[in-house]
């Protein structure tokens, strides 16, 4: 610690001299720093976009469940295509559900799913109508749904097709505000459902990824699958899939990809190759996302690094000009006893100060830029400590590297010739 203090005291005069030199040419110093400012800001903002995208993707995959396999019914694009498919396959059915249960002992939990879009709901809601999802009681375990009030419906209610419902967090607030919801009734089209539970809020998405149509889980009303089909489904749905999704939870998540191949093989056989379903493996999506994110980070940092390289060239250019301007000063310092190492240290320190100050301003610029991107584009951005340390370290390193050549040029000037320079 004492040795470090002595070193700081030793460098203090040169630091003051370097700061004075920068202050004497404020505009030139600022223009020289712009490369560092934009470079550091670009690195931080690009990495913050990448970190935000990674977090959203991981949250999305967690919503699907890393140990889960999801079978989605694939909708036909038009009526003739649908009729053609139906001549070959009946679509996803309860028979498929039973076949998968019987042939996949490594699967721990299974739930079919049926979506339903109501035309009216009471109590009336001001904005979007909550959607109804018919599922089995096991769905709560498969998707790790957390009940904050009441309970999820049980096996007896599911078997009898009881008119009971569990509300997502946003659906509950849309229907009942902040009043107690458990025990009250919700009318979906012409059917009354008694609310048995309310779920905790979850990360919401409105998108489609790899064929998975993801609803906002907070704006859903979960009902027993049998109740959804018998009480809500219309009678004109003979060309629709009996169920539109199957969720399977594998006992060991390391077997999810292998099990998904078995699921695909079984359904290809039972559907006679109609291609009317999609098998989604969140674990596979996770690996793909990691590879994509690594490429994205590399490209973004490489692009931002070009700004730092340009900034380094700017530092070298201005330091070479400074050496010419201060040739006589260098000659006087050498004449009164300054060594070559002292001259190198002086000019190298000035170049480093430019990169340090530019780096600090770049950190502020990057933070502001990432927040601006998040606000204007609606993207999630996360400024991490690693991105700040990395960008600042590279900035200082660039200053040292590109300042070394001008510093050596200054130190190698002949003292006599330097003193004669005008």
- Give 254-267 pLDDT, tens digit per residue: 788 888 889 989 99
Q: Which of 251-255, 261-265, 398-402 has the highest mean pLDDT?
A: 261-265
Average pLDDT over residues 262-291: 81
- Give 64-110 pLDDT, tens digit per residue: 667 888 888 887 767 777 777 778 888 888 999 999 988 998 888 99
Local confidence band at 323 (pLDDT 50, 70, 90 cut-offs):
confident
Average pLDDT over residues 394-408: 81
| Distant-in-sequence, close-in-space partners of 244: CB < 8 Å, separation ≥ 6 | 72, 73, 92, 113, 114, 115
Residue 86's DSSP bridge partners are none
In three-state secondary structure terms, 216 is coil
**Per-residue pLDDT at 236:** 46
Q: How far apart are CA 312 and CA 286, in angstroms?
A: 38
Local confidence band at 21 (pLDDT 50, 70, 90 cut-offs):
low
Phi then psi for residue 216, to 5 deg, are -65, 110
**Per-residue pLDDT at 254:** 76
Local confidence band at 50 (pLDDT 50, 70, 90 cut-offs):
confident
- Give 325-370 pLDDT, tens digit per residue: 777 777 777 777 777 777 777 778 888 888 888 888 888 988 888 8
Higher per-residue confidence, 303 vs 188:
188
Decide if pLDDT at 391 tops 70.
yes
**Per-residue pLDDT at 12:** 61
Decide if pLDDT at 8 tops 60.
no
Average pLDDT over residues 151-173: 93
Percent of the chain with pLDDT over 90: 20
CA distances from 160 to 96, 187, 228 (A): 21, 19, 12
**Per-residue pLDDT at 6:** 46
Higher per-residue confidence, 186 vs 375:
186
Torsion-angle region of 275 (φ positive above 0: left; ψ -120 to 50: alpha; else: beta) = left
CA distances from 277 to 85, 92, 121, 265, 267 (A): 11, 8, 31, 12, 8
Q: Which of 122-126, 197-201, 416-420 has the highest mean pLDDT?
A: 197-201
Find tokens 């330097």 and name the residue. Answer: 418
Local confidence band at 162 (pLDDT 50, 70, 90 cut-offs):
very high
DSSP string, 190-202: TEEEEEEEEEPP-
**Per-residue pLDDT at 341:** 76
**Per-residue pLDDT at 137:** 94
DSSP string, 393-410: HHHHHHHHHHHHHHHHHH
């Amino acid at each position: 610690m004492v040795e470090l203090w002595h070193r700081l005291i030793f460098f203090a005069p040169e630091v003051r001299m370097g700061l004075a030199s920068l202050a004497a040419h404020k505009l030139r110093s600022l223009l020289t720093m712009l490369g560092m400012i934009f470079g550091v800001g670009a690195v931080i903002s690009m990495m913050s976009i990448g970190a935000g995208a990674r977090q959203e993707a991981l949250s999305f995959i967690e919503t699907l469940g890393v140990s889960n396999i999801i079978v989605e019914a694939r909708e036909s694009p038009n009526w003739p295509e649908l009729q053609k498919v139906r001549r070959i396959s009946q679509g996803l059915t309860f028979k498929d559900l039973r076949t998968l249960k019987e042939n996949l002992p490594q699967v721990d939990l299974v739930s079919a799913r049926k979506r339903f879009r109501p035309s009216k709901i009471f109590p009336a809601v001001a904005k979007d109508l909550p959607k109804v999802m018919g599922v089995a009681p096991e769905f709560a375990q498969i998707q790790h749904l957390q009940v904050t009030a009441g309970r999820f419906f049980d096996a007896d209610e599911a078997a009898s097709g009881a008119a009971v419902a569990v509300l997502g967090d946003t659906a509950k607030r849309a229907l009942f505000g902040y009043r107690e919801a458990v025990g009250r009734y919700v009318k979906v089209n012409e059917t009354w459902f008694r609310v048995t539970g309310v779920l905790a809020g979850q990360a919401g998405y409105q998108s489609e990824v790899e064929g998975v149509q993801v609803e906002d889980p907070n704006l859903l009303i979960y009902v027993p699958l049998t109740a959804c089909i018998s009480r809500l489904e219309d009678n004109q749905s003979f060309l629709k899939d009996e169920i539109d999704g199957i969720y399977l939870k594998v006992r060991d998540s390391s077997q999810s990809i292998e099990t998904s191949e078995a699921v695909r093989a079984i359904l290809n056989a039972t559907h006679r190759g109609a291609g009317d379903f999609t098998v989604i493996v969140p674990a596979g999506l996770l690996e793909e996302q990691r590879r994509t994110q690594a490429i994205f980070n590399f490209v973004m940092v490489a692009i931002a690094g070009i700004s730092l390289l340009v900034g380094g060239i700017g530092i070298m250019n201005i330091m070479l000009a400074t050496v010419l301007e201060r040739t006589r000063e260098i000659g006087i310092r050498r004449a009164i006893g300054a060594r070559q190492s002292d001259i190198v240290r002086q000019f190298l320190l000035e170049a480093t100060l430019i990169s340090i100050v530019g780096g600090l301003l770049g950190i502020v610029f990057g933070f502001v830029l990432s927040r601006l991107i998040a606000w204007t584009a609606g993207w999630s951005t996360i400024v991490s400590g690693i991105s700040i340390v990395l960008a600042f370290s590279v900035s200082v390193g660039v200053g040292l590297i590109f300042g070394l050549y001008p510093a050596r040029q200054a130190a190698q000037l002949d003292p006599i010739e330097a003193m004669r320079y005008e």
